[in-house]
Structure 1
């Protein structure tokens, strides 16, 4: 069945050529098929679009009026198809990433640099927040992808682990003597502890693990960023719960030391989160590939 759009395409070419035979050659159709398409369109519109003459065809007044709109519409469709091709080829588009400050600094930026070098025309939008906040942004359509601490308990989200991390405790010079030997969780909980705020997913993970051991923590300080926890530990304000992979530089330089625990906190993951029901855009797909290839 010939669609209305196909009929308008034939009409546009006939109007340009002022000839059924000329349009047939351009469209790789038979002349009777072109003639039949025009008659079908005229019947549907209940309007004569062409004057037929022995030398060819000419547009009627109604045909001339319609041709102007049809050509504009076909041109817009062509532009739309070009834009789709640009999106597919990543010569234009936007990538919106929801991510926390710490993960942004230590994990996202290197991957973002690689993506930017490969696809410089893709507009980037970074949405910062806690894990709960960026998952909300993802579910509301304000972010295409979220990179956050796992696990995520949400059946509408697909989470792909991409980096294993370890929660540890670090301290400054003041606590060298006190923490010279391995200690257990119960003993550690009695020291001045520095944690992230309770709404942090990584804080919840460690806190839940302590609770599984029957130990409830009561931090001396609850701070808004991983870097602040490190700085507070550096100036001997207490023992900070941090991510080993994001604190290694401080420990390599001897600025901070890791508390030797009699039992390690189980490793967890940082991962990519996307909506289960929404297909990934070309830009998002390429970004995920860059992360997963590393």
Structure 2
């Protein structure tokens, strides 16, 4: 069996994500013939059928789905290996973060980190928790700041910072949490899961309204559309201004610390960032604590 180049793996992944040869060609800015040739080459090398027609597009076979997972990991490791041989102070750091931590916590940390290490190339991805940990598992991200990672994934919690989830609503509407509409984040959100678990513990089945982002949830709460469970880090301004207030709900506040998570072999830049956020002389009250 011959080898498959990284470029052909990238092409195959584009096909799997786009669901068509044409879509992959457009994404990669190459011809459809080149895409088809790359997929055919891989299938010949593996001796397995990876794609099959479905309507006007294509879908992955079971072998194709398995191979796509390996391609993600292999390509992620190749990029990680390249970063690992560079000096930490001049390398690249890919950080993944959930929206709440990204807006209210990470930006301050990144600002001081960039001032301290201006030659490090930073990239930031903001996704729901489940997506971030999948990217980290495939070595497509170097470090994630979110809630606790799933068990048995091989991911390592390197540091944590205390945070709480509290229930809030608009004061002028005097909402009763047990009879109000509950405002939810989208699927894949750790806060959404915590909210649904809390409702189960309270043994209530209130009306719910799902909104796409924590910003939309907060805006809806301010307008009196319902109550919501939210990280205290995201509420400082609204609580101080009186736009929202904390509601007494049995079982809250919930301790839900932020976690800085990596694989077992983080690159030097990730280790440098961890050292930075663990240093209160550099980041003040935003500092994490070692695991």
Equivalent residue for 1:169? 167
- TM-score, with length taken from structure 1: 0.62
Name the SS of the counterpart of 1:87 in structure 2. coil
Q: Distance in 2 between matches of 1:135 and 1:89?
A: 23
The list of structure 1 runs, each at least 4 consecutive aligned residues, that deviate by more than 6 angstroms after superposition, is 83-86
Q: Structure 2: any 5+ residue segments left out of the alignment? A: 1-81, 280-286
Name the SS of the counterpart of 1:124 in structure 2. strand
Q: Distance in 1 between matches of 2:132 and 2:249?
A: 33
Equivalent residue for 1:290? 276
Equivalent residue for 2:104? 106
Cα deviation for residue 153 of structure 1 reads: 2.4
Equivalent residue for 2:214? 226
Pairing partner for 2:266 from 254, 268, 280: 280
The RMSD of aligned alpha carbons is 2.3
Residue 166 of structure 2 is aligned to residue 194 of structure 1: no
Q: Distance in 2 between matches of 1:258 and 1:195?
A: 17
Instruction: Write out per-residue CA displacement over residues 201-227 of structure 1, whole angstroms, 9 at most, x where no aligned residue.
Output: 12112322432x262544431112111
Equivalent residue for 2:237? 249
Is the Cα contact below 8 Å between 1:151 and 1:269 reproduced in 2? no
Q: Distance in 1 between matches of 2:255 and 2:218?
A: 20
Name the SS of the counterpart of 1:156 in structure 2. coil
Equivalent residue for 2:117? 119
Q: Distance in 2 between matches of 1:215 and 1:126?
A: 39
Is the Cα contact below 8 Å between 1:162 and 1:291 reproduced in 2? no
Q: Distance in 1 between matches of 2:121 and 2:251?
A: 45
Equivalent residue for 2:72? none
Is the Cα contact below 8 Å between 1:98 and 1:147 reproduced in 2? yes
Residue 87 of structure 2 is aligned to residue 88 of structure 1: yes
User: How many pairs align?
Assistant: 199
Is the Cα contact below 8 Å between 1:167 and 1:244 reproduced in 2? yes
Cα deviation for residue 246 of structure 1 reads: 1.3
Is the Cα contact below 8 Å between 1:207 and 1:217 reproduced in 2? no
Cα deviation for residue 254 of structure 1 reads: 0.8
- TM-score, with length taken from structure 2: 0.62
Name the SS of the counterpart of 2:86 in structure 1. helix
Q: 1:89 to 1:142 in 2, by over 3 A?
A: closer
Q: Distance in 1 between matches of 2:135 and 2:250?
A: 40
Cα deviation for residue 147 of structure 1 reads: 1.0
Q: Distance in 2 between matches of 1:268 and 1:101?
A: 15
Instruction: Write out per-residue CA displacement over residues 136-179 of structure 1, whole angstroms, 9 at most, x where no aligned residue.
Output: 11111210111111253233111234222211121114323x55
Q: Structure 1: any 5+ residue segments left out of the alignment? A: 1-82, 180-187
Q: Distance in 2 between matches of 1:105 and 1:198?
A: 19
Larger Rg: 1
Is the Cα contact below 8 Å between 2:136 and 2:142 reproduced in 1? yes
Is the Cα contact below 8 Å between 2:180 and 2:206 reproduced in 1? no
Q: Distance in 2 between matches of 1:105 and 1:158?
A: 23
Is the Cα contact below 8 Å between 2:96 and 2:144 reproduced in 1? yes
Is the Cα contact below 8 Å between 2:93 and 2:120 reproduced in 1? yes
